[in-house]
Each structure stands twice: as structure tokens, then as C-alpha cells.
């Protein structure tokens, strides 16, 4: 085949005429062959092997997904392919053959030619990967010029408009002059995908391209990405932590664990019939629509009242049957209006939370679900007393919190404690774990030093952490362990309600499953009531008794978990449910 024959593949659009597509691709030969790739990082504590011999192929036009937890080496693999590692990283072994040429030993100039032109890259975080001081158009033009797609000013400009149009920007000509902050997260990611595909690369590497985005936006972006790569017959390497997403989008799935590939093969086959114990565990732990609510097992703990004789037969259902009819917390017409300052000394009101009402019966979980900007976190903050409601009332255990005195509010806080999203930000790095867990006791002057110490030990035991952790500092703990500590702190004052604000969103699947199980155990053991704030509907499936869906500050639908998942009434809820990655796949259960 000659290059002329192949160029008939091209569509007749003007954009493609600008690209000299004279590169021949043989569909039966792998585009990229990765052989025993090894990568090391030099850190303070010595060298760390991030990749321990990774081998796989990517064929032309194929979509391959690498799935793994943080630290599994999935992103390192992606960066290793284009030899774009941070200063302290080094390829120490193996080969990356791109159309037969080894990129690990290629010269810098050669790599520059391949990057962008032959292999496009879509980075993870759309918020930080566009330079805020340059217009979007400038950055697209820069990429086009760097890839040598066009050189004259007119051609570059025309191609830039093309790229942005393909990326889904309607009035690309005008929006070119705008700056990244004028674009939403989804639009920025589209621009980055546009830049990645600008030179019609044969391979596009997308590193968690949608992790920072809402599910509905994620879906649109991935559809778009899929359409564009298919149109150009480009191969796509998708790096993700989301099994459902990987299986839905990729034909071939690679599961990585601790720098190695543990299982690779056809997506559906792996999802339905995993062979490796790690893959099995990963798939079992991933919450999906097919999952069931986790029920808490009563664990026997040596508490302050001696041995707690737990009724092991008591399941969650029993707990629910016994629950009080009076809700432990009731929220009526809660509203928060912020005034947004404008440049001209005026301000416009923004209704973040618009007259929401809900109640939570004792011992149950209400999930407040919504996308970013839906007002769910503002609602949580008002419930916690961290934000003053504009109007509406919060009734906690019969006490109306509006107009309550400072002293009473202080007392009420004991009944309600939060766990926040970011495990790395929610613990004071300069306090020992014991001091962190004991802080609520100290503030509320509960007990003396000795009894506080005993309580800290008991709390650590409840969250399955050894007592010696009390003397340590947060920097030695992983995200999941920090979140356990945060849970222990929340439980210190024996609250009735725990507000979990995206408490498991930042965690890896297996750790997330562990924490969710812990929360369920604690709920049935201590009769806790949870207000669970999240954007992740799959997680909601496994924790919630009741669900309230928020959109633009309003609750648009409420109901039991089963009712919402089986028979959502509102279009927005249906859209959310459909957008969950992997919704249409049969999972093993």
C-alpha cells in the first residue's frame, strides 16, 4: 500500500487537508510494544521501583485501559511510554517500541517529533494543565505549531478553530480569545483532548481524563473522545481507577498492582470471570448499581462497660425495625443565599441551597447526592453549624438550632460530628493521632487525662487501628488510615449523627470498601445516623437507606434507595444513573 491509497481514509474536511497524513499504519502489527518496562524513582528514602517489568501491546485503533489503584504504576506506565518522567524518575530497563523504534533510547529531538505528532497526551487535571495567563486559542495554536501541522499564521489559526470545534466548542472563533478561567472544567478537558488530537496522532494517551469531572460531564467527554479516536482510527490508552469506566470504554483491560500487570485481557471477560485474586477482590469491592447495601456486622469490642455482648443475629433490618419514629434530625426549608461581589461595588444574590427539607430516622443513612455546585456541601455545612442558614430551620433531636444561644449550640455539637473528604487535609499535621482523636474530649472537658487516654484507645480499637498509633503523627498514615482516624475523632463524643462529606471519595476502591464496611459496622453497633454527602451514585447504592437528589440547590427527588435505583421518577436522576460508568455491564456478584 502506498501513502496515496491510505490518505483516502481521510475525510474531505478542510482540517484534514492541512494535515499531511502520509503515515502508513498496518492494522495487524502492534503500534506500540512495551517490553519489560522498568522505571525507578529516586526519593529521600532511596530508590523506589515504580514499574517492575511491564509488557503489553497496543494495536492500531484499539482502546486499551489500564486500571489500578494509586501507586500501582498506571500513570507511570503512561508517562514512560512517551519518556516524559519527572526529574527523579528513570527508565531502568525494557523497551517501548513505537512502530519498531525504541523510544526509551531515542534522542530528545526524536522524542519531540513523536510526542504530540504520533502520540497525543491528555493530562489528568483540566484545572491546572492549561496555562492561566494565555488565552485558550494561544495554547491550541502553540500545540499546532509545535507539532508542525501548519506553519503559516492563517493555517495555524484555521486549524486551531477546527480543533476547538471538534472539541465541541460552538462559537470557537470567539472563545479562542478567552482564558482558561472562563471555561468550565468539562470545556477545559475538551480543549485538552482537542490539543491531544490536534496532530491526528496514532495513539492518544488519556491519563484519568475525567476523574475531576461530574458523571454526566464525564459521560459526554468520554463519548466525544471515543467518537474522535474512532473517526481517526487512533488507538487510545485510557488510564483510570474506575473499573466500570474501563470496561465500558475499552476492548482490552490491563489490571496493574504494585508496578506489575496482574491480569490482562478482554474487558468483559475479566469483569465477569476474573482469575487473579487481586482482580477478583478489586471487582468485588467496586461499588456498582448491582451492589447491595452493606450491612454492618456487630463486632465485639472491649468497651468501657466491659465486654459488649453483641447480638450477632441482629442484622441491619432489625435495627431499622426498632428505630424511633421521630427523626433524629429534621431540616425544613433550609436556604442559603450568598451575595457574590461584582466589580462595581454591587453584589448579586446566589441561592446555593434553595428551601430543602429532609428528615433522617435514627440509625439510618440519608444520602444527599448531587453534582458539583448542587449545594450539597453547603447544606452539610449548615447542618453542622459551620454556615449560618439564610432561612429555614434545623431540628436536632427536638431542639431547633435556629436562634439558639452560643452555649446551647456548643452543647448540641456533641451530638453531631463531621468527617470530611480530604484525608490529607482533615488532620492537623502537627498533632499526634492521640491528640487529634482526643481534641473533641478536651474541648468539651470530658473526663480527666487518664480516662481520655482510655477513650482514645477504645476509639482506635473501634476503627481497627492499633493503640500505638496514638503517639504517631498523620504523615505516617495512608489516606484510608487517616480517614479511620477522622472517623474515630468524629465518634469521640459519642454523637448521634455523623455527617460524612464525600468521606470515601478520595480513597482507592479496596480501601473505600473497607471504610464503608467500617461505617456500616459502627452504625449497627452504635446506632449511628449518617448524613452521607456524595457525588458517587454507585457508593450511594451500598450505603444509603434513603436518597435525596440535589440539583441547583433544590432537592429534586427523594425516596428509598431501592425506589430511586429501580424506578427513578425525575429525568435528572435518571440521567445521573445512566451516566454511572459500567451501568450496563453484568458484574460478577
Partner 1 sequence: MSDRQPEHYVAPIEDATVEVDALKLKERKSNLWLDAWRDLRRRVLFYAALLVVLVVLTMAIAPTLFTDVSPTLGCQLTNSNGASIAGHPMGFTRQGCDVFARVVWGARTSLSVGILVVVITAVIGIPMGAIAGFFGGKLDSLLSRIGDIFFSIPYFLAAVVVMSVLGQYRSVWVIALAIGGFAWASLARILRAEVLQVKNSDYVMASEAVGRGRMATLLSHVLPNSLTPVIVTLTIALGAAIVAEASLSFLGLGLNSNVMSWGQDISQAQSSIRTAPMALVWPSVMLTVTVLAFIVLGELIRDALDPKSRARR
Nearer to partner 1 among residue 217 and residue 383 (C-beta): 383
- Residues 219-278 contacting partner 1, CB under 8 A: 230, 233, 251-252, 257-258, 260-266, 269-270, 275-278
Regarding 426 and contact with partner 1 (CB under 8 A), the answer is: yes
| Residues 396-425 interacting with partner 1 (rule: CB under 8 A) | 409-410, 413-414, 417-418, 420-422, 425
Determine the Cα–Cα distance for residues 106 and 324; give it in Å rounded to an integer: 70
- Tell me which H or E stretch contains 563: helix 561-566
Q: Are strands 32-43 and 235-240 parallel, antiparallel or unpaired?
A: unpaired
Site for partner 1 in 87-106 (CB under 8 A): 88
Give yes or no for residue 110 binding partner 1 (CB under 8 A). Answer: no
What is the radius of gyration, based on Cα positions, of the chain?
Answer: 27
Residue 138 in the binding site for partner 1 (CB under 8 A): no
Give the three cell numbers for residue 387. Answer: 454556615
Three state DSSP letters for 42-104: EECCEEEEEEEEEEEEECCCCEEEEECCCCCCHHHHHHHHCCCCCCCEEEEEEEEEECCEECC
Residue closer to partner 1 (CB basis): 192 or 197 = 197
Which range in 2-10, 507-515, 523-531, 564-572 contacts partner 1 by CB under 8 A? 507-515
In the structure grid, which three cell numbers stand for residue 146, read together?
509545535
Binders of partner 1 in range 40-59 (CB under 8 A)? 43-44, 59
510 binds partner 1 (CB under 8 A): yes
CA 192 to CA 92: how far, in whole Å?
A: 30
Give the burial string for 487-508 (b: 16+ CB within 10 Å, else e). bbbbbbbebbbbbbbbbbebbb
Which of 23, 49, 320, 444 is the binder for partner 1 (CB under 8 A)? 444
Q: Which of 227, 302, 312, 443 binds partner 1 (CB under 8 A)?
A: 443
* Binding residues among 380-399 for partner 1 as defined by CB under 8 A: 384-386
Residues 223/257, Cβ–Cβ less than 8 Å: no
Q: Does 480 bind partner 1 (CB under 8 A)?
A: yes
Number of residues near partner 1 (by CB under 8 A): 72
Note whether 303 binds partner 1 by CB under 8 A: no
Contacts of 227 (CB under 8 A, 6+ apart): none
Q: Which stretch binds partner 1 (CB under 8 A): 60-68, 119-127, 211-219, 347-355?
A: 60-68
Q: CB-wise, 110 or 468, nearer to partner 1?
A: 468
Least separation in angstroms between CB 279 and partner 1: 8
Nearer to partner 1, 149 or 254 (CB): 254
Distance in Å, CB of 407 to partner 1, minimum: 10
Please give the order of strands across the beta sheet that includes 89-98. 46-58, 32-43, 89-98, 101-102
* Residue 203 interacts with partner 1 (CB under 8 A): yes or no: no
Q: How remote is the C-alpha of 39 from its chain's centroid?
A: 26
Q: Does 471 interact with partner 1 (rule: CB under 8 A)?
A: yes
Q: What is the DSSP letter of 584?
A: T
DSSP state of 504: T
Pick 150 or 228: Cβ nearer partner 1 = 228
Q: Three cell numbers at 534?
A: 456524595
With CB under 8 A as the contact rule, the residue among 148, 303, 349, 429 that binds partner 1 is: 429
Q: Can you tell me the distance from the alpha carbon of 290 to that of 585, in angstroms, rounded to the nearest whole number?
A: 9
Amino acid at each position: 500500500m502506498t501513502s496515496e491509497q491510505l490518505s483516502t481514509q481521510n475525510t474531505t474536511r478542510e482540517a484534514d487537508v492541512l494535515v499531511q497524513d502520509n503515515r502508513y499504519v498496518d492494522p495487524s502489527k502492534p503500534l506500540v510494544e512495551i517490553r519489560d518496562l522498568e522505571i525507578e524513582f529516586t526519593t529521600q528514602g532511596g530508590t523506589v521501583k515504580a514499574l517492575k517489568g511491564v509488557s503489553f501491546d497496543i494495536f492500531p485503533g484499539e482502546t486499551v485501559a489500564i486500571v489500578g489503584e494509586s501507586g500501582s504504576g498506571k500513570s507511570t506506565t503512561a508517562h514512560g511510554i512517551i519518556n516524559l518522567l519527572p526529574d527523579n524518575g528513570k527508565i531502568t530497563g525494557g523497551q517501548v517500541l513505537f512502530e519498531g523504534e525504541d523510544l526509551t533510547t531515542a534522542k530528545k529531538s526524536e522524542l519531540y517529533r513523536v510526542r504530540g505528532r504520533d502520540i497525543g497526551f491528555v493530562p489528568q487535571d483540566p484545572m491546572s494543565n492549561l496555562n492561566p495567563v494565555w488565552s485558550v486559542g494561544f495554547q491550541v495554536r502553540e500545540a499546532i505549531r509545535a507539532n508542525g501541522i501548519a506553519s503559516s499564521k492563517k493555517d495555524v489559526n484555521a486549524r486551531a478553530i477546527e480543533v476547538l470545534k471538534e472539541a465541541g466548542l460552538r462559537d470557537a472563533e470567539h472563545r479562542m480569545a478567552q482564558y482558561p478561567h472562563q471555561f468550565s472544567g468539562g470545556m477545559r478537558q475538551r480543549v485538552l483532548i482537542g490539543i491531544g488530537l490536534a496532530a491526528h496522532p496514532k495513539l492518544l494517551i488519556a491519563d484519568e481524563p475525567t476523574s475531576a469531572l461530574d458523571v454526566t460531564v464525564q459521560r459526554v467527554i468520554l463519548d466525544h473522545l471515543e467518537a474522535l479516536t474512532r473517526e481517526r482510527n487512533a488507538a487510545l490508552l485510557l488510564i483510570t481507577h474506575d473499573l466500570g469506566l474501563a470496561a465500558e470504554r475499552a476492548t482490552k483491560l490491563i489490571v496493574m498492582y504494585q508496578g506489575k500487570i496482574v491480569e490482562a485481557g478482554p474487558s468483559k471477560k475479566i469483569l465477569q470471570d476474573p482469575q487473579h485474586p487481586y482482580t477478583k477482590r478489586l471487582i468485588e469491592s467496586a461499588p456498582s448499581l448491582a451492589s447491595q447495601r452493606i450491612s454492618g456486622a456487630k463486632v465485639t469490642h472491649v468497651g468501657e462497660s466491659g465486654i459488649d455482648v453483641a447480638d450477632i443475629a441482629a442484622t441491619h433490618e432489625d435495627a431499622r425495625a426498632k428505630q424511633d419514629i421521630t427523626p433524629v434530625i429534621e431540616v425544613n426549608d433550609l436556604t442559603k443565599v450568598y451575595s457574590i461581589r461584582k466589580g462595581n461595588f454591587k453584589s448579586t444574590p446566589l441561592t446555593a441551597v434553595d428551601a430543602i427539607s429532609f428528615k433522617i430516622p435514627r440509625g439510618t443513612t440519608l444520602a444527599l447526592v448531587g453534582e458539583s455546585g448542587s449545594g450539597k456541601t453547603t447544606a452539610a455545612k449548615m447542618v453542622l453549624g459551620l454556615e449560618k442558614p439564610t432561612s429555614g430551620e434545623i431540628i436536632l433531636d427536638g431542639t431547633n438550632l435556629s436562634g439558639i444561644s452560643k452555649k446551647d449550640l456548643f452543647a448540641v455539637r456533641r451530638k453531631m460530628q463531621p468527617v470530611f473528604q480530604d484525608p490529607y487535609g482533615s488532620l492537623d499535621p502537627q498533632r499526634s493521632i492521640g491528640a487529634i482523636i482526643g481534641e473533641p474530649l478536651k474541648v468539651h472537658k470530658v473526663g480527666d487525662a487518664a480516662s481520655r487516654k482510655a477513650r482514645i484507645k477504645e476509639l482506635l480499637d473501634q476503627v481497627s487501628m492499633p493503640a500505638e498509633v496514638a503517639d504517631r503523627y498523620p504523615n505516617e498514615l495512608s489516606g484510608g488510615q487517616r480517614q479511620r482516624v477522622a472517623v474515630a475523632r468524629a465518634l469521640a463524643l459519642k454523637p448521634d449523627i455523623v455527617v460524612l462529606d464525600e468521606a470515601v471519595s478520595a480513597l482507592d476502591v479496596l480501601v473505600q470498601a473497607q471504610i464503608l464496611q467500617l461505617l456500616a459496622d459502627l452504625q449497627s453497633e452504635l446506632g449511628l445516623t449518617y448524613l452521607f454527602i456524595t457525588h458517587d451514585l454507585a457508593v450511594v447504592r451500598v450505603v444509603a437507606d434513603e436518597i435525596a437528589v440535589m440539583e441547583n440547590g433544590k432537592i429534586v427527588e427523594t425516596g428509598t434507595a431501592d425506589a430511586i435505583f429501580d424506578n427513578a421518577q425525575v429525568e435528572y436522576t435518571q440521567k445521573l444513573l445512566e451516566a454511572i460508568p459500567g451501568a450496563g455491564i453484568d458484574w460478577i456478584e
